Amino acid sequence: MSEQSYDYDVLVIGAGPGGYVAAIRAAQLGLKTACADGRETLGGTCLNVGCIPSKAMLHASEYFDAAANGAMAKMGIDVTPKLNLPAMHAQRVDAVKGLTAGIEFLFKKNKVDWLKGYAAFTGKDSVEVAGKTYRAKNIIIATGSSVTPLPGVEVDNDKQVIVDSTGALELAKVPGHMVVIGGGVIGLELGSVWRRLGAKVTCVEFLDQILPGMDADVRKDANRIFKKQGIEFKLKTKVTGAVVKGKKAVLTLEPAAGGEAETLEADVVLVSIGRRPNTDGLALDKAGLAVNARGQIETDHDFSTQVPGIWAIGDVIPGPMLAHKAEDEGIACAENIAGQTGIVNHDVIPSVVYTWPEIAGVGLTEEQAKEKSEVKVGKFPMAGNSRAKTNHEPDGFVKIIADAKTDRVLGVWCIASVAGTMIAQAAQAMEFGATSEDIAYTCHAHPTHSEAIKEAAMAVTGKPIHV
Ligand code: FAD
Ligand code: NAD
């Protein structure tokens, strides 16, 4: 087939942070590019129903909580907040509108064609979108992920009784009792939103601790902090069924290891037990592709699949389901298609839970690091940090895990009001192969929360100043 018969050099399937970024980068590199997505607006899960709207609700509810729980009074501001939930939702919708329109603008600016519709493969180098077939020299699958369903607990976002994350962002009133199934990132972020606005929140988690995958100290302290805020946890517990009766749901719970069942009534149930890759409807078989046991598309380090010319990035491939991971893969993949060397260092992907305080980490947990080598650990409490103390934010700590022999930093974990911002420094240091000594002897501005990172690094060799 001749080069001329291709409609595009690159056709991206999916316009989430992986796909839209890949499309823009490919166009910037001079490749004729299209991006297919059937949503009404660009930006995928992240901009439409994920990162952005959840942060809009977290930010607004944080102010409400500060006014309601006495945090403002501590600083001499006496206020009695009154919730205007429609206005809070309106600013969320506005944020989404502005940012998704921004991607449409960037597509136009970079001459990326938006093919409005869902794509299905018709061959190794062709897809059909909205009844039209397109041939492309390279096809990038960036179809993202959707909510993992829980058998017996059927989500119906319209009824607003059993909802998923999309439904939980849009509740028309504050639930009396919200039960969150799954003590992961979504459960804790959206559970926090409604707890702050007045709901009683119970979190049912299958495992013996919340936030699997994070450092054990972080998981334990996060549990303590959320409990103090009023979230009730039922750990080592599974939900086996739900019955909706009018405006309420009755859940059946059992110990994870099996045992006597109990029931729990809720006004709203949030199902947040994970997400699974989107590959249904892609007709992967027509392209000669298959998924692995977890439903993901496997790729090589350069994001190529086993079929030449077909690439995959983001939530649909293995690795953490995070927007910044998808974006970095999008850039690297487009660069590889253009003949450059696009690389993503999957060992240094920060992750952040945007609760109060924030929880962040990058690299290995202490448990993972100990399996690989002997380690030295430095820990510094936020209560010893002058800025956090002045701001009435005593909770949390920074923990740095370094190789005992080389002192190279293997992982950094923190709980702090601005942990999500602080972790960028740790990621950059690790990307540069820093030792804990490098961080300890880097001058940090005073008074900042980031000084706690310096002190934790000093604590690796047992020499912090402020504890
Ligand atoms: P997606 O963003 O899922 O985009 C995929 C797109 O592909 C979708 O628009 C879909 O319509 C489209 N599509 C699917 N099939 C087809 C098809 N056949 N043809 C055409 N188009 C198709 N991550 C963070 O890093 N930080 C956060 O704060 C954060 N908060 C989150 C909060 C919530 C409530 C949720 C649900 C997720 C959150 N995430 C967060 C995760 C983040 O949204 C995802 O990791 C990220 O969106 C993945 O990007 P992606 O491009 O791979 O896929
Ligand atoms: P998750 O994997 O973070 O947490 C799911 C939790 O549910 C786990 O703790 C798991 O043990 C538990 N669980 C699983 N089955 C269960 C059951 N039957 N009963 C009780 N508990 C059960 O998943 P999530 O919170 O749904 O989030 C999905 C993805 O979205 C995550 O991978 C996350 O990376 C991404 N996300 C990221 C952010 C962020 O970066 N701030 C925010 C939201 C979502």
Q: Is 349 in the pocket of ligand 2 (CB under 6 A)?
A: no
Q: What number of other Cβ atoms are within 10 A of residue 98's Cβ? A: 11
Closest C-alpha to 297, from 281, 322, 278, 324: 278
Per residue in 217-272, pLDDT (tens digit) is 999 999 999 999 999 999 999 999 999 999 999 999 999 999 999 999 999 999 99
Question: What would the two tokens of residue 250 be?
Answer: 């009755």
Per residue in 326-352, pLDDT (tens digit) is 999 999 999 999 999 999 999 999 999
Q: Is the same domain home to 366 and 398?
A: yes
User: Is 177 labeled as catalytic in the residue annotation?
Assistant: no
Identify the residue whose C-alpha is closest to ligand 2 atom 43.
Answer: 186
Q: Which atom of ligand 1 is nearest to the CA of 21?
A: 51
- What pTM was computed for the model? 0.98
Q: What are residue 395's phi and psi, to 5 degrees?
A: -75, 150
Q: Which atom of ligand 1 is nearest to the CA of 146?
A: 3
Mean pLDDT of the chain: 97
Q: Is the same domain home to 130 and 142?
A: yes
Q: Is position 433 within any domain?
A: yes
Q: Is position 231 within any domain?
A: yes
Q: Please name which ligand lies nearest the alpha carbon of 214.
A: 2
Q: Are 51 and 323 in contact, with CB atoms under 8 Å apart?
A: yes
Q: Is 353 in the pocket of ligand 1 (CB under 6 A)?
A: no
Q: Is position 349 within any domain?
A: no
Kindly tell me if the per-residue pLDDT of 1 is higher than 70: no
Q: Please name which ligand lies nearest the alpha carbon of 185.
A: 2
Q: Select which of 392, 444, 446, 449 is catalytic.
A: 446
What's the order of all strands across the beta sheet hosting 268-271? 162-163, 268-271, 177-181, 200-204, 232-234
Q: Is position 156 within any domain?
A: no
pLDDT band at 4 (very low <50, low <70, confident <90, very high): low
* Bond before 255 cis per omega within 30 degrees: no
Q: Please name which ligand lies nearest the alpha carbon of 146.
A: 1
Q: Are 407 and 376 in contact, with CB atoms under 8 Å apart?
A: yes
Q: Please name which ligand lies nearest the alpha carbon of 130.
A: 1
Q: Is 272 in the pocket of ligand 2 (CB under 6 A)?
A: yes
Q: Is the same domain home to 379 and 311?
A: no
Q: Is position 347 within any domain?
A: no
Q: Is the same domain home to 94 and 18?
A: yes
Q: Which atom of ligand 1 is nearest to the CA of 315?
A: 52
> Which among 223, 275, 362 is the best mutation to test ligand 2's pocket, defined by most ligand atoms within 8 Å of the CB?
275
Domain count, the chain: 3
Kindly tell me if the per-residue pLDDT of 2 is higher than 80: no
Which is it for strands 132-141 and 248-255: parallel, antiparallel or unpaired? Answer: unpaired
Q: Is 320 in the pocket of ligand 1 (CB under 6 A)?
A: no
Range of the domain at 184: 162-273
CA of 407 to the centre of ligand 1 (A): 37
Can you tell me the distance from the alpha carbon of 394 to that of 198, in angstroms, rounded to the nearest whole number?
23
> Which among 35, 51, 148, 325 is the best mutation to test ligand 1's pocket, defined by most ligand atoms within 8 Å of the CB?
51
Overall average pLDDT of the 9-14 stretch: 98
Q: Is 92 in the pocket of ligand 2 (CB under 6 A)?
A: no
Per residue in 112-162, pLDDT (tens digit) is 999 999 999 999 999 999 999 999 999 999 999 999 999 999 999 999 999
| 273, 289, 323 - which closes a domain | 273
CA of 329 to the centre of ligand 1 (A): 13
Q: Is the same domain home to 102 and 136?
A: yes
CA of 212 to the centre of ligand 2 (A): 8
In order of 216, 280, 367, the CA distances from 35 in angstroms are 41, 18, 41
Q: Is 320 in the pocket of ligand 2 (CB under 6 A)?
A: yes
pLDDT at position 425, please?
Answer: 98
Closest C-alpha to 189, from 272, 265, 99: 272
Q: Is 354 in the pocket of ligand 2 (CB under 6 A)?
A: yes
Q: Is position 455 within any domain?
A: yes
Output the 3-class SS for the chain.
CCHHHCCEEEEEECCCHHHHHHHHHHHHCCCCEEEEECCCCCCHHHHHHCHHHHHHHHHHHHHHHHHHCCCCHHHCCCCCCCCCHHHHHHHHHHHHHHHHHHHHHHHHHCCCEEEECCEEEEECCEEEECCEEEEEEEEEECCCEEECCECCECCCCCCCCEECHHHHHCCCCCCCEEEEECCCHHHHHHHHHHHHCCCEEEEECCCCCCCCCCCHHHHHHHHHHHHHHCCEEECCEEEEEEEEECCEEEEEEEECCCCCCEEEEECEEEECCCEEECCCCCCHHHHCCCCCCCCCCCCCCCCECCCCCEEECHHHCCCCCCHHHHHHHHHHHHHHHCCCCCCCCCCCCCEEECCCCEEEEEECCHHHHHHHCCEEEEEEEHHHCHHHHHCCCCCCEEEEEEECCCCEEEEEEEEECCHHHHHHHHHHHHHCCCEHHHHHCCCCCCCCCCHHHHHHHHHHCCCCCCC
Q: Is 118 in the pocket of ligand 2 (CB under 6 A)?
A: no
> Which among 13, 40, 45 is the best mutation to test ligand 1's pocket, defined by most ligand atoms within 8 Å of the CB?
45
Q: Looking at residue 200, which CATH number applies to its domain?
A: 3.50.50.60
Helices 17-28, 85-109: axis angle to 10 degrees equals 30
Residues 6 or more apart whose CB falls under 8 angstroms from that of 326 comprise: 16, 17, 18, 21, 46, 142, 144, 313, 314, 315
Q: Is position 157 within any domain?
A: no
Q: Is the same domain home to 253 and 284?
A: no
CA of 144 to the centre of ligand 1 (A): 5
| 240, 273, 306 - which closes a domain | 273
> Which among 52, 186, 359 is the best mutation to test ligand 2's pocket, defined by most ligand atoms within 8 Å of the CB?
186
CA of 118 to the centre of ligand 2 (A): 26
Q: Is the same domain home to 128 and 65?
A: yes
Q: Is the same domain home to 195 and 301?
A: no
Q: Is 191 in the pocket of ligand 2 (CB under 6 A)?
A: no
pLDDT band at 172 (very low <50, low <70, confident <90, very high): very high
| 273, 307, 322 - which closes a domain | 273
pLDDT at position 3, please?
Answer: 57
CA of 218 to the centre of ligand 2 (A): 16
Q: Which atom of ligand 1 is nearest to the CA of 166?
A: 34
Q: Looking at residue 399, which CATH number applies to its domain?
A: 3.30.390.30
Q: Is the same domain home to 24 and 59?
A: yes
Q: Is the same domain home to 67 and 120?
A: yes
Per residue in 104-114, pLDDT (tens digit) is 999 999 999 99
Q: Is the same domain home to 441 and 429?
A: yes
In order of 13, 71, 119, 353, 454, the CA distances from 36 in angstroms are 5, 47, 7, 30, 46
Per residue in 58-98, pLDDT (tens digit) is 999 999 999 999 999 999 999 999 999 999 999 999 999 99
Kindly tell me if the per-residue pLDDT of 169 is higher than 80: yes
Both ends of the chain: CA-CA distance in Å?
A: 70
Per residue in 355-388, pLDDT (tens digit) is 999 999 999 999 999 999 999 999 999 999 999 9
pLDDT at position 87, please?
Answer: 98
Q: Is position 410 within any domain?
A: yes
Q: Is the same domain home to 228 and 363?
A: no
